[in-house]
Each structure stands twice: as C-alpha cells, then as structure tokens.
Amino acid sequence: MSKVAYIVSRFPTIAETFILYEILALEQTGLAVEVFSLLRQQEKVVHPGAEALVKRAHYGRFISSATLTAQLYWLSRKPLAYISCWWRAVLGSLFSPKFLIRSLAVVPQAALFARQMQALGVRHVHAHWATHPTLAAYVVHRLTGLPYSFTAHADDIYVERPMLAEKIRRASFVVTISEYNRQFLAELYGASAEKKIVVIHCGVDSSVFQARPAKQQATPFTIICVARLEEKKGHTFLIQACAKLNARGIPFQCLLIGEGGNRPRLEQQIARLGLARQVSLLGQQPRDRVSALMSQADVMVLPSVTTASGRKEGIPVALMEALASELPAIATSISGIPELVENNRTGILVPERDVEALAEALFRLYYEPKLGEQLGAEGRRKVLREFDLNNNAAKLLAQFKHSQASQSIAPPLPGSPAKI
C-alpha cells in the first residue's frame, strides 16, 4: 500500500484521540498517512505523538490564492463534477442553515485538498465522521477519481445524515464502530449499503492502559469518569448517585476528567448537593495522566443518555481504556455500549437516567471489591480480544489494501511522484 489521506474535522483535538492513535498505529505498519484537517484546533493539552503529525498536517483554507486556483483548475478540467459537488452539498444541507454554511466552506477546501493529494501521490482517502469530513472525501473522489471510505461513529449518523445515502453509494467501503451502527445503517439504506459496511471497533493501546496494581484498602472509594462535559455523557446522574453515597456515609471521591459546555451547570449541582469535597472537576488531561488516575480508581462510571435531539454514544473509548486497565465499569445499556460492557461479565449495565440503579451498582462494587476484580480482569480480556488498537488498525489496513487492489485509481498529476 502506498499512501492514504485522512480527512478530519479538527486536528489535533483531545476529544478525538482515537483518530490520532489509529493514524500512528497505521504508520507503524509502514503505511504513509497524510492528515488533512478542515479546521486547525488549538488546545492546551496535546497528547504525545500529535506534535509530529501537526507539523506535517494540511489545513483547509477557505480564502487563499491556492484555494482560488484550485477552484479554477477543477472548473476548467472537471466542470460537471465540480458543479455537481456544489449542487449536492447545497441540496443535502438545506435541513440546517448552520450545516449549509459549513458545507459551502467545505467544498472549496476539498477542491484544494484534491490538488494536494494528487501531488502527494495519495492512493486512498479515508474520513472520520460521516458529516463534513466525508463530504470533503466525496468531493475529492468526484474530482480526482480517488477511492474513499469513511468511519461512522455516533451523532454523525444518529442525528444529522446529510447526503449519507449518496456518500455510502460512492464509497469503496464504510467502517462503523459497532454492530449496533451496522444494523442501524442497514435498516435505513438497505442491502446495497449493508454490503459495503464493515464493523471495526475503535481500539486502545493495551501497553499504555495496563492492569492496575492492588489498591491500598485505606484509601477512599474512588470513582472516575472520563468524558466531555456534555449532556449525552450523563454527568448529572452520576453526581446525584454520589449524593446517595454521601448520605450513606461511604467515604469516596469522584474525579470528573474532561471539559465542555456543561461545566458551569455541573459546578452548581455539586455545590447545591454539598459535594464540593468529594466531587472534583479536573478538566482535560493527557493520556498518561488519565492512565495514572485510572490505575488508582475503583470504578469507571459513564452514565450516558440519549438526548431529546437523538444524540447518543457510539462506544466510548474511555470505557475501553478503563477495561484495559482492569477497572470495572458501570455504564448504560444504550447504542453499542453493551458490545463492550457485558452486564455482570465485563461490567455493570444500568438503564439510562436511573439514579437509583446507578447508586445501587456503586454500592455493590463498594461492598464487593472481589466482584470489581473479577469484572476488571474479564474486561481487559475483552479489550485484548476485540478492542486492541494494533489489531483493529491491521483490519483497517486490510480494507485499504483490498480497495486499492479492486479499483482503478486516477494517476497523479504529470510530473508528480506515484509514491512519496
């Protein structure tokens, strides 16, 4: 395999570290990967390994001489395909003015990406998220003939599905991260779409998230939750469950790792319930710090919910990291989560928004530490079998190779190397 281009919304972003580590795992196999990002992300916390990729990443520019030149190039060389891309993008985004505006910025960015990819000798394009990144991959395909694929995760198929039938139809293959998603898409788009869909879970590096050491009995019962501070993660229900632990006099601490728009609301809830000493908001943390905190915790809790708008989880990578650390997990039985957290086998599942059930699960693990050890050990075995980063990157690489072998690919521009 020669070279693959990855198209993402923002790079780097701590909320999508699974994409970063997937790219790094692919590069360890010898595959050359070029990263194309629609937006440049500036974050204080940057995970190890991101720096080198950032230096050579390609960022979309809506207004620049290079972008304008790319539009003129494709308008003169592929006028029908170029105009069709605009037409499709507009029609597919009419449901949302905000989405439409963003789509109108993506098409010219993708036209520039198409020129850059040809010059770099890219042979396959892969996008993460079925929304704007896949629109960009679709445009590149229409202009260059390069085959493309994409990974569908969660809200990008549950909530907003602009052009999704067309994106699937044109794609070489479609990856989704759970069997739940595969069935969801098959029901929406039928047998022709189902034939293109392959389930490849996101993965975690089990050498970084290792089995936690035996914990000191004198330390308080430690709950950890690693998730963006947003509604679908269900933090408010965890905080309510913590109030029930406090009412029973159980010594505990709850560490909330992550950042997001719900922080002020959660701070108010913590203060109102008198939990300021027990519940801490730690903000974003790098991967090594998350791993260290997991190694000292007793349980990972992620009480995810389905919002009124239909937003919900795929399979949270933070749960994979917890199970890889032999940390028992409590989660909700929605979307693809039961494919990872099997009730009473690799963790405990509770109904969403059920504070009583969540509190009872916490009581159970507090009073039965041996149960936590058993769930944690089986959870790590589950991750090693099905959610290992390198194994799943190898599955994706096999899909890229199959696509290259089975499709004719447009040659690079005259004078540009076939491989770099």
pLDDT band with cut points at 50, 70 and 90 for residue 216 = low
Per-residue pLDDT tens digits for 270-323: 999 999 999 999 999 988 899 999 999 999 999 999 999 999 999 999 999 999
pLDDT for 284 equals: 92
Does residue 419 have a pLDDT over 50?
no
Per-residue pLDDT tens digits for 175-186: 999 999 999 999
Per-residue pLDDT tens digits for 241-252: 999 999 999 999
pLDDT band with cut points at 50, 70 and 90 for residue 45 = low
**What span, in angstroms and rounded, lies between the C-alpha atoms of 182 and 289?**
34
pLDDT band with cut points at 50, 70 and 90 for residue 54 = confident
In this prediction, residues 361-387 reach a mean pLDDT of 97
Per-residue pLDDT tens digits for 65-100: 999 999 999 999 999 999 999 999 999 888 888 889
pLDDT for 287 equals: 87
Domain ranges of the chain: 3-203+388-406, 221-386
pLDDT band with cut points at 50, 70 and 90 for residue 202 = very high
In this prediction the pTM is 0.91
Average pLDDT, the chain: 92
Q: Say if CB 282 and CB 208 are below 8 A apart.
A: no
Per CATH, the number for 3-203+388-406 is: 3.40.50.2000
Per-residue pLDDT tens digits for 310-366: 999 999 999 999 999 999 999 999 999 999 999 999 999 999 999 999 999 999 999
**What span, in angstroms and rounded, lies between the C-alpha atoms of 95 and 344?**
43
- For domain 221-386, the question of CATH label 3.40.50.2000 is answered with yes
Residues 339-378: b if buried by 16+ CB within 10 A, e if exposed? bbbbeeebbbbbebeebebbbebbeebbeeeeebeebbeb
Share of the chain above pLDDT 90, in %: 82
What H or E segment, with its residue span, contains residue 361?
helix 355-367
Per-residue pLDDT tens digits for 102-130: 999 999 999 999 999 999 999 999 999 99
Q: Say if CB 262 and CB 230 are below 8 A apart.
A: yes
Place of tokens 């239909």: 310
- Same topology for domains 3-203+388-406 and 221-386, yes or no? yes
Place of tokens 């491989």: 419
Does residue 229 have a pLDDT over 90?
yes
**What span, in angstroms and rounded, lies between the C-alpha atoms of 191 and 186?**
6
